[in-house]
Structure 1
């Protein structure tokens, strides 16, 4: 039984060594391809984006403004747009007060 385990262990060791060798060869090949194509190895980090979603814009409009109470039931799409525009204005004012430069836009999905 122990001979069988030793043989299996040696087989797994050889297989692991083969996999390590293949990974090293692939890295060499990728490096050579990048050098031959004059592509730099450095990559840019992904851009971080902050997404804000008002959970219940209709309720917010009704709670915060008199016109929101009137328009919310009759024109819900327009009310949502107005709520997002107002939230964006308030955030912009707050961030300007704190000297934080941002690019803000509303994205319709």
Structure 2
């Protein structure tokens, strides 16, 4: 199966549109295109049990973000103050940029 492109990139501000974290907003920390998942700051928090190591002699339970499906998030437009769909715009020089479908501002 060919790898599909995601509609979000690392560094985008996104809003979760479904699931237990619906309505939460956060920054995309990392993308996993092969799995169609993204890691969003403060969303889908999981408890990871860590073994004691030299770097972490205490060990214990660490709370961290878990990946969520990219379908469950939408890019947040700071001008519209809403989650929006994105479109592409090509300028005079041939550079492609993403725009908000509602207000047309560059994301």
Rg (Cα) greater in structure: 1
The interval holding the TM-score normalised by the smaller chain is under 0.3
Task: Name the structure where helix makes up a greater proportion of residues.
Answer: 1
What is the TM-score of this pair, normalised by structure 1?
A: 0.21
